[in-house]
Amino acid sequence: MSKILDDCECPVCSNHNVQLWNTISHLEFDLLLCPQCSFVFQPEPTEMFNYDIEYYDFWDLGTHSKEIRQMKLRSAYAYLDMIKERSGINHGRLLDVGCAYGFLLEAARNRGYQAYGVDVSSAIQFAKKKGFDVYETDFMNMSIKDNFFDVITLVDMIEHISRPKDLFRRINRSLKVGGAVFIITPDVFSLSRKMLNNYWFHFKHEHVSYFCPNSLSTLLSETGFELRYIGLGYKHLSYQYIVNHFLKYNRGLVAKGLQFIGKLLPSELALLPIRYPTEMLCIATKSFVHA
DSSP 70-123: HHHHHHHHHHHHHHHHHH---SEEEEEET-TT-HHHHHHHHTTEEEEEEESSTT
Q: Mean pLDDT across the stretch 84-110?
A: 97
Lowest-confidence pick of 28-37, 43-52, 138-147, 161-170: 43-52
Instruction: Note the CATH architecture for domain 47-238+273-286.
Output: 3-Layer(aba) Sandwich (3.40)
What is the percentage of the chain residues whose pLDDT exceeds 90?
A: 69
* C-beta of residue 155 within 8 angstroms of C-beta of residue 258: no
Query: What would the DSSP string read from start to end of 236-271?
Result: EE-HHHHHHHHHHH--SHHHHHHHHHHHHS-HHHHT
d(CA 57, CA 248): 9
Residue 42 DSSP code: P
Query: In this predicted structure, what is the pLDDT of residue 1?
Result: 41
| C-alpha span between 34 and 59 (Å, rounded) | 34
In this predicted structure, the answer to whether residue 48 has a pLDDT above a threshold of 90 is no
Distance, CA of 106 to chain centre = 18
> Does residue 162 sit in helix, strand or coil?
coil
Is the pLDDT at 239 greater than 70? The verdict is yes
